[in-house]
Amino acid sequence: MRVPPRGGEHEQAPEHSMDPRSGERGASSHQSVIDNAVYVNGQRVATPPSLAEAVVALRSHEGSMAWIGLYRPAEAEILNVAEEFHLHELAVEDAIVAHQRPKADRYGDTLFLVLRAAQYLDSPEKVEFGELHVFVGPDFVLTVRHSEAPDLSKVRRRMETDPDLLRQGPQAVLYAILDAVVDGYAPVVAGLQKDIDEIEVQVFGGDPAAPRRIYALSREVIEFQRATRPLLDMLNGLIAGSSKYGVDGELQRYLRDVADHAITVVERVDNFRQMLQDILIVNSTLVSQAQNEEIRNVTQASYAQSEEVKRISSWAAILFAPTLVGTIYGMNFTHMPELDWRFGYPFAVALMAAVCVTLYLVFKRRDWL
């Protein structure tokens, strides 16, 4: 059970800082030790109040196993545990600094794993990733958690209600932790699928915010790939080395079941990335089509406007011709021979009509009218 912080203060979000050297990491052992238990034959026989007493209890019970859970421990505390259980300095450095990629390394008879847990947050519609370090020795399991996920208290309760499984020792605990991490991916996969479905609706609905959401979700999917894909090699390695390290046959089948679930998750995540790429291409195509349609409409409007200008200009030219002739003959100068000519008026009218008909025929032939 987790001991509440002193003074009734709330714990800060574990992902705010994973650097144990920062001021936030100056937690006491009472705050960082989530649970500290010693088991014999699948039964809890001691719950030491301190890590030193846990080591004493472990050594005082033959065939016992210690399971120590730490939550964002201080650097000095990790170094103290490392000294008690003879942990390799490279693994200890990774546990202190954190921000490690998922991996599995073996140092002598101690196996060190880095796991990336994930949880889907409904309200902001995003995936939050956490980091878990697991040390598995011949008679101990040490977990160093840098985030809320996964909830290892559920894993411990599950194991304590199944003494036959817990009796198989640290390897059984490792299996339960891996199973919890992989099972925790299922809600994330469902949440991402829901987001992708919503994005498809946005894209075909012409929402201009769709590309930004596609980009943000693509980054989460890539991060999810980085967290899940290394699990396949890790699980295959554990299964391959099971016989060498005396892992029970039934437990090997459990590990293969976890590997099957991990493969399913990895395949789904790979599909998500491909789907998002396809959706982005479709969105670009739809945007291009909309732009082309807009350009076509503008072009049609410009063409219609041009046709109207042609018509107006043609009629203006036709009407201008008789106006010009009438203006000239309306000047009434003294010396204008046409003023005394009997056919002056009919000639002027005929001239205006001829010019108008000629211009009309010219414009009509050019489809201006």
Confidence check: pLDDT of 272 > 50: yes
Percent of the chain with pLDDT over 90: 30
pLDDT given for residue 31 in this prediction: 58
Q: Residue 332: which pLDDT band, with cuts at 50, 70 and 90?
A: low
Q: Residue 99: which pLDDT band, with cuts at 50, 70 and 90?
A: confident
Q: Residue 182: which pLDDT band, with cuts at 50, 70 and 90?
A: very high
Confidence check: pLDDT of 128 > 50: yes
Which residues are registered as beta bridge partners of 119?
A: 128
What's the mean pLDDT in 122-147?
89
pLDDT given for residue 26 in this prediction: 41
Helix/strand/coil for 299: helix
Q: Residue 333: which pLDDT band, with cuts at 50, 70 and 90?
A: low
Measured N-to-C along each axis, helices 152-160 and 170-183 cross at an angle, to the nearest 10 degrees, of: 130
> Which has the closest alpha carbon to 121: 92, 149, 152, 85?
149
Tell which wins on pLDDT, 23 or 71. 71
pLDDT given for residue 10 in this prediction: 36
pTM of the shown model: 0.72
- In the numeric block, which tokens belong to residue 9? 């203060």
Average pLDDT along the chain: 82
Topology, domain 1-183? Beta Polymerase; domain 2 (3.30.460)
pLDDT given for residue 268 in this prediction: 93
Helix/strand/coil for 131: strand
pLDDT given for residue 335 in this prediction: 64
Pairing of strands 43-46, 64-71: unpaired
Confidence check: pLDDT of 5 > 90: no
pLDDT given for residue 224 in this prediction: 92
Q: What is the pLDDT of residues 300-315, one digit of tens each?
A: 888 888 878 888 888 8
DSSP per residue over 81-112, as a string? HHHHHT--HHHHHHHHH--PPSEEEEETTEEE
Confidence check: pLDDT of 146 > 90: no
What is the residue whose two structure tokens read 């008909």?
Answer: 357
pLDDT given for residue 339 in this prediction: 67
